[in-house]
Chain A
Amino acid sequence: MKPRRRANLEPYLLLLPSLAYLAVFFAWPMVQAFGLAFRADDGRWTAEFFQRMIGDAAFWPALRTTLILVVTIIPLQFILALIMALLATAGLRGAGALIYFYALPIAVSDLAAGIVWFSIFTERGYLNTILQGLGLLERPFIFLQYGATWSLIAVILAEVWRATSIVFVILVAGLQGIPKEYHEAAEVFGAGWFARLRRITLPLLRPSIQVALILRTILAFQVFAVVVALTGDGVKVLASEAYQWYSQWRNLNVAAAYAALILAISLLSTVIYLRALRTRTEALTV
């Protein structure tokens, strides 16, 4: 009798198109980005485009601003999202509507968010209307002045407004996955509300937090349309510089150098997150 051992090919056939697609439209362009950034037209390796990028007057402000935005927006978002998630799962009346409202900005584009907040922060906008109406200002204040701190604050507020929902939804999904018994047990053993949050909820929420953190940080490094819509070119970030170098000066190589830089710091941040959170999860499983 023949030994029958047929490897099942079905799953591989089903996966193949996606792998091929991602190879062509994901992996290959990544490699190409580095090629564009580090190779001259005649094919030799060069740091010329990178030097041009760094030498540009807008480079350091753009890098600085991008980093400032990441380190301010991400923590603010996590605090706000956690508050929102706890409110949404606190068993309030109308929690269904609350979740809907809180999640609404998920579908709002960064461009729309920029325009919406522009209507608030522009000189003849809502914020000045309200502040003057309350008598706090004598005449309209120019928040979105070129390079002003207020421009940055406007960008932060708009980004927190737009992109906190995604963190919120991930955290709520995580909260719903935590069995109620854990909280009840903790309460039985005398843990107060804050102790339960710190000792039960947050540790059990760690996988969700990790996902949201990585997802949001990568996106924050690409911040673009909010900044442009709110400030024109008053605030420079890495992505807007990449866009400028291509659309204004038609220099694909320097644009690619920016892309490669964004890619590099994104991957670096992911590695840091995974390192930092892994040691703790291992401690948790013991």
Chain B
Amino acid sequence: MTARPAPPLSRRLSRVLVYLAAILVALYILAPIYLIAVMAFSPRAVVYGYPKPLLPTQISLETISFFINSYGILDSVKNSVLVAVFTLVISLAIGAPAGYALARYIFPGGDIYRILILSTRAFPVVILSIPLITTYISWGLDDSALGVALLHTAMALPTTILVTSSIFVGVSKDLEEAAMTMGCTRAGAFRRVALPLALPGLAASAIFTFMLSWNEVFAAAILTLQNQTLPARLIVQLNQSPIPFRFAGGFFILVPAIVFMLFARRYLFSLWGVKLR
């Protein structure tokens, strides 16, 4: 028996280079996250100090607790969560039915609607916050969590519609029809068959919407004065704040993002692989 011949040296060499490149890019992405984590878990003296440690020599919660106990931070976290929950509920309540309609029905105007939704991507949504200020004052929505959430919904809605539509396309129409042949109403077939099957995808879409809202800075900073979300509060205070406050704050916004990616990983491509048409 002879051993399988080894691939030629040039092949092996290029394989090594490919791995090397992959690792280098991964380092570029992971190293900054690692470094800010080191800062967040170092005592304040180290955070102020120089040179900075590349390894976490002294692990401490001092910096993080300093940040959390700073005036207004907990309130702004509460606001952030409130805004994000409003946003995901409203955008799912409005977006999922539209996505379902796109997935299930062939009807005149469907293509126009789809193009309309796609074309919203050509607009810089964030700047909508400036004209909305006056509208909100007249509606009594200024400086409110709901007001911010309504704008975040406008930002998230087109994506929610397209994503839920692709989720419902993935649940075969036959399944709902089969339920209807066995005594379900249209709505019953949706509730008993389509909804449970679409649920994981819808949840991923909801988490994504939550993150979009949690991360959004510009509109939140413009539309609020007292009831700021966490990013809005941070951006306003940032340049007058001590270094530990900044680093802990940055790390604090980052953590849910990493957790989100763990949950939504399986759905990443169905969430973002949405193509034009």
Where the two chains meet, the residues of A that have a C-beta atom closer than 8 Å to any C-beta of B are 8, 10-12, 14-15, 17-19, 21-22, 25-26, 29-30, 32-33, 35-36, 80, 83-84, 87-88, 90, 92, 98-112, 114-120, 122, 124-126, 128-130, 132-133, 140, 161, 165-166, 169-170, 172-174, 176-177, 207-208, 210-211, 214-215, 218-219, 221-222, 224-225, 228-229, 232-233, 239, 242-243, 246-247, 252, 255-256, 258-259, 262-263, 266-267, 270
The majority secondary structure among interface residues of chain B is helix
Whether B215 is near chain A, meaning CB under 8 Å from some CB there, is: yes
When the two chains form their complex, are residues B101 and A15 in contact, meaning their CB atoms are under 8 A apart?
Answer: yes
Of B2-10, B176-184, B197-205, B247-255, which binds chain A? B247-255
Min Cβ gap B119→A in Å is 8
Nearest A residue to B275 via CB reads: A207
CB < 8 Å: which of B36, B260, B272 contacts A119? B36
Min Cβ gap B227→A in Å is 15
Whether B206 is near chain A, meaning CB under 8 Å from some CB there, is: no
Known: A84-B25, A101-B26, A116-B36. Is A129-B51 also a contact (CB below 8 A)?
A: yes
Q: Return chain A residues, CB-CB under 8 Å to B36.
A: 115-116, 119
When the two chains form their complex, are residues A211 and B235 in contact, meaning their CB atoms are under 8 A apart?
Answer: no
Cα distance A43–B275 in the bound complex, in angstroms: 43
Nearest A residue to B40 via CB reads: A119
When the two chains form their complex, are residues A15 and B113 in contact, meaning their CB atoms are under 8 A apart?
Answer: yes
Cα distance A178–B32 in the bound complex, in angstroms: 33
When the two chains form their complex, are residues A104 and B258 in contact, meaning their CB atoms are under 8 A apart?
Answer: yes
Q: List 22 A-B contacts (CB under 8 A).
A: A15-B113, A17-B98, A25-B132, A29-B131, A32-B131, A100-B261, A102-B25, A102-B26, A103-B265, A104-B30, A104-B258, A106-B268, A112-B253, A115-B246, A119-B36, A124-B243, A218-B121, A225-B235, A246-B133, A258-B127, A259-B124, A259-B130
Q: Return chain A residues, CB-CB under 8 Å to B52.
A: 119, 124-126, 129
Known: A107-B261, A112-B250, A222-B218. Is A102-B18 also a contact (CB below 8 A)?
A: no
Known: A214-B122, A243-B222. Is A229-B235 also a contact (CB below 8 A)?
A: yes
Q: Return chain A residues, CB-CB under 8 Å to B73.
A: none
Whether B71 is near chain A, meaning CB under 8 Å from some CB there, is: no
Known: A21-B153, A22-B157, A92-B18. Is A109-B30 also a contact (CB below 8 A)?
A: no
Min Cβ gap B69→A in Å is 19
Q: Return chain B residues, CB-CB under 8 Å to A106.
A: 261, 268, 272
Cα distance A150–B256 in the bound complex, in angstroms: 31
When the two chains form their complex, are residues B269 and A252 in contact, meaning their CB atoms are under 8 A apart?
Answer: no
CB < 8 Å: which of B95, B135, B153, B250 contacts A115? B250
Whether B193 is near chain A, meaning CB under 8 Å from some CB there, is: no
Where the two chains meet, the residues of B that have a C-beta atom closer than 8 Å to any C-beta of A are 18-19, 21-22, 25-26, 28-30, 32-33, 35-36, 39, 48-52, 54, 93-95, 97-98, 100-102, 104-105, 107, 109-110, 113, 117, 120-128, 130-135, 150-151, 153-154, 157-158, 161, 186, 211, 214-218, 221-222, 231, 234-236, 238-239, 243, 246-247, 249-251, 253-254, 256-258, 260-261, 264-265, 268-269, 272-277
Q: Return chain A residues, CB-CB under 8 Å to B150.
A: 25
When the two chains form their complex, are residues B131 and A222 in contact, meaning their CB atoms are under 8 A apart?
Answer: no
When the two chains form their complex, are residues B217 and A105 in contact, meaning their CB atoms are under 8 A apart?
Answer: no
Known: A17-B98, A222-B218. Is A119-B50 also a contact (CB below 8 A)?
A: no
When the two chains form their complex, are residues B250 and A8 in contact, meaning their CB atoms are under 8 A apart?
Answer: no
